[in-house]
A = this chain, B = another copy of it.
Amino acid sequence: MGDMAGRRTDARQKMVSAARELLREQGYHATALSDVLRRSEAPRGSVYFHFPGGKAELAVEAAALHSQEQVSAIDSAAAAATSPAELVRAYLERARTNLVASDYRQGCTIAPLVIESTRDSDELDAVGRRSFETIIAALAGHFVAFGLAPDDARRLADVTVAGAEGALITARALRDPAPFDAMIDVLTRGIA
């Protein structure tokens, strides 16, 4: 009973996790369901059972997982930080570390969903907006707690996320983390 539910959740989670990895590496359309199944060691028929919406629903959940992890990381970093600048730095360094550690393979999970403009499902169209909004709101909330005015906090959150996304793309293309360092310098200069 608990076992069954546990297994079910387990298989689901493994699929979502595998989908997230593949999205980060290859994007949406380049990732076949068979890729996800191979990596998660799940049988083909399970997809439709766990995700009636098919591939689109799987991607939506993968994006949700990604943004949740980002928010968790932001909260942890904020607890350890003493200024907005430190939180900005932590956020960008986390992205850089993941990218370099994966040999410039793993970027952002959400970006491909935005760029590939998938008309597969309405949810999938909306998930990019929701995910970024969630992450930006989390950052902005902590910036306000550090004493910034709400408008300034929002703007700083915007550039932090945009800076990370852009650095992920260019650093990945160049196979060089320099854009991250330069971006961190610019973003943390002139703010407390």
Contacts and interface: CB of A to CB of B under 8 A. Distances in A.
A159 B186 contact: yes
A163 interface: yes
Interface in A84-134: 105, 107, 110-112, 114-118, 128-129, 131-133
Interface stretch (A50-58, A141-149, A172-180): A172-180
A75 interface: no
A114 B165 CA distance: 12
B169 A182 contact: no
Determine chain A's interface SS by DSSP, over half rule: helix
Interface in A1-59: 25-30
B182 A112 contact: no
B175 A166 contact: no
A73 interface: no
A27 B115 CA distance: 6
A178 B167 CA distance: 19
A175 to B, nearest CB: 7
Given A28-B29, A110-B173, A158-B183, 5 more contacts: A30-B118, A115-B115, A159-B163, A162-B167, A166-B167
